[in-house]
Structure 1
Amino acid sequence: MEPGAADFKLFEVLEPARQTIPFVYNSPHSGRHYPQEFLESSRLDGVSIRRSEDHFVDELFADAPLRGAPLLVAHFPRAYVDVNREPYELDPRMFTGPLPSYANSNSVRVAGGLGTIPRIVAENMEIYQRRLTVEEGLSRIEQIYKPYHACLRRLVARTHAEFGTAILIDCHSMPGNIRVAGSGLRPDFIIGDRYGTSASAELTQAALEILADFGFTAVRNKPYAGGFITEHYGRPARALHALQIEINRAIYVDEETLERRRDFALLAEILSSFIQRMALYAADLGGDGALAAE
């Protein structure tokens, strides 16, 4: 592991006193502990390098354990390693030596600079002053990416074994200027289910309706349908459901200063109620077989 990356807990599971609902909440992009050596290798200042964070999303969903569900929280930053990618989506232009043959260097995400080891943060700002060694990149994958996913798999498997179904809610935020193509609509929330492949239609609809009941504009899949985590863990035919939830950052954070807005606590309260209502809805759906394996 690179020096400095072990100076803080890389991730942690916030457990309920007893898990009472078949949900796992995950906040993979809200990490804000930056290794000093990483900062020194970057051409960006301390604010700019944070532009890709899902700012404070872990705090917004902090009541998940109180509602009976575990919450997995990343403390490492997305700019350092992105666990919402395949394990080896790597850009050869970032490294001094040849990548291993199993690396996927041709994905759309790599082309956009947002691979497993990102080249840029938001607004196409280049992160690094120099190329990395291949060993640096692979070390982050071995020491952070793989343990993170091993932990997430255990949580999902445990939940599935106990309840007969597991529902993963992958929690993210999006820039305030995001619009739905063709409409100009600026959504408050986007629920992603990989176009119906990662979760039951009933569960997706429940999330949209609950958010609408709270007075938010919520849309499905556009422009964010879900990333690697949603796609990889969602297997509705096996009673494994995964939804991605994107929150418009402008609702709760000043995107220039990255400070919490005055009504941050109110949004957290609403999302606590969202967790509770999703659990009740899932219990009703489970009762008539809608969440059972086909």
Structure 2
Amino acid sequence: MTDWLEIHRGHAPLLVAFPHTGMDLADVEGEFRSPWLARRDADWWVDRLYGFARDLGATTVRTSITRSVIDVNRDPSGASLYPGQATTELCPTTTFDGEALYVGEGPNEAEVMRRRERWFAPYHAAIAEELARLRGTHVNVVLFDAHSIRSRIPRLFDGELPQFNIGTNGGPTCDQALAEAVAAICADSGCSHVLNGRFRGGWTTRHYGQPTKGIHAIQMELAIRGYADEPVEPTPANWPTPYDADRAAPLAAILTEILKTCIAFAQNDKTQED
């Protein structure tokens, strides 16, 4: 653990990553137009929602640096994960809604590289190290990338987002049986869900998912309405809404079943390259 990188080591064949729950604007807070705006698009309370994961034996990796400083779930080269669709950059210059984050143009190439070296690289070094540790005792490991987003963001998607958005980049990042098992739990919950819809998995899922080598990566993007109230128009006065464990309990129960299924899959599946 450092002052910004939190690692909890479990022994089950499951690593849960939290790339977007951070609130720390680090040494660049004064460059943003508004600290609130720079934090607004966080995956609010997701690490608390998955607080049960450690009790299941999962390893967790979390950065406290906000995604507006550097998004550790973007391609470090700067290439878009969703060509032709609205998205945000490795070091975002706008919010999800398209509002400017900086008074000026934002970080230059040298500053982006500094942020990559300072925060992006250590975060992913930690994930790689923990996956290697777990693979030392398990034939298969599941990397579960945990996210959430507001239910309605017209710039990014039409209408209301499904409650559960499962991403495997169209299939190659994990065994199909695992994706189908997670989707079945979501379907049985009675909540809306989609597999490889608008959110198909970010750089973490795509980079680490190598099922033939024993690493099965899956992203879960939740609509925030499932565990917290969402105002029609977020403002500093009403956003974020406080975390309420009782409000979140039904969704947490479904997610518990999903993570248990991930662990069972890893323990039972034996397919990998020789």
Which TM-score tier does this pair reach, normalised by the shorter chain?
0.7 to 0.9
Q: Tell me which of 19, 24, 41 is aligned to 2:31.
A: 41
Match of 1:163 in 2: 138
CA–CA distance in 2 between the matches of 1:107 and 1:271?
26
TM-score computed with the length of structure 2 as normaliser: 0.85
Match of 2:22 in 1: 31
Match of 2:104 in 1: 130
8 Å contact 2:37–2:101 — kept in the other structure? no
Decide which moves more: 204-213 or 70-79: 204-213
**Which structure 2 residue ranges, 5 or more long, are not aligned?**
none
- Aligned amino acid, residue 240 of structure 2: L
Q: Deviations over 1:2-53 (max 9, x none)?
A: xxxxxx822111223xx1x211110101111223x53321113x43222321
- Aligned amino acid, residue 83 of structure 1: V
Spell out the pairing of 1:3-14 with structure 2 (5 A cutoff): 9-14=3-8
8 Å contact 2:168–2:219 — kept in the other structure? yes
Spell out the pairing of 1:198-237 with structure 2 (5 A cutoff): 198-237=173-212
CA–CA distance in 2 between the matches of 1:156 and 1:164?
11
Q: Secondary structure at the match of 1:13?
A: strand
Match of 1:97 in 2: none
CA–CA distance in 2 between the matches of 1:109 and 1:264?
34
Q: Deviations over 1:180-228 (max 9, x none)?
A: x999674110111111111111000011112223332221000111111
Provide closer, same or farther for how the CA distance between residues 85 and 61 of structure 1 changes in structure 2, counting only shifts above 3 A. Answer: same
Match of 1:94 in 2: none
Match of 1:62 in 2: 51
Q: Deviations over 1:201-260 (max 9, x none)?
A: 100001111222333222100011111111110111212110010111122223332113
- Aligned amino acid, residue 28 of structure 2: F
Decide which moves more: 139-148 or 205-214: 205-214
CA–CA distance in 2 between the matches of 1:110 and 1:85?
16
Q: Secondary structure at the match of 1:162?
A: coil
CA–CA distance in 2 between the matches of 1:245 and 1:227?
10
Q: Tell me which of 279, 290, 294 is aligned to 2:263.
A: 279
CA–CA distance in 2 between the matches of 1:187 and 1:112?
18
Q: Deviations over 1:237-285 (max 9, x none)?
A: 212110010111122223332113551244334323332233234434x
Spell out the pairing of 1:187-202 with structure 2 (5 A cutoff): 187-202=162-177
Aligned-residue CA RMSD (Å):
2.8
TM-score computed with the length of structure 1 as normaliser: 0.80
Match of 2:39 in 1: 50
CA–CA distance in 2 between the matches of 1:235 and 1:9?
31
CA–CA distance in 1 between the matches of 2:215 and 2:58?
15
CA–CA distance in 2 between the matches of 1:128 and 1:178?
21
- Aligned amino acid, residue 257 of structure 2: S
8 Å contact 1:79–1:117 — kept in the other structure? yes
Provide closer, same or farther for how the CA distance between residues 182 and 39 of structure 1 changes in structure 2, counting only shifts above 3 A. Answer: closer
**Which structure 1 residue ranges, 5 or more long, are not aligned?**
1-7, 90-103
Provide closer, same or farther for how the CA distance between residues 47 and 168 of structure 1 changes in structure 2, counting only shifts above 3 A. Answer: same
Provide closer, same or farther for how the CA distance between residues 115 and 276 of structure 1 changes in structure 2, counting only shifts above 3 A. Answer: same
Match of 1:117 in 2: 91
Provide closer, same or farther for how the CA distance between residues 212 and 225 of structure 1 changes in structure 2, counting only shifts above 3 A. Answer: same
CA–CA distance in 2 between the matches of 1:275 and 1:73?
17
Aligned residues: 262
Q: Tell me which of 123, 136, 144 is aligned to 1:148.
A: 123
Provide closer, same or farther for how the CA distance between residues 43 and 182 of structure 1 changes in structure 2, counting only shifts above 3 A. Answer: closer
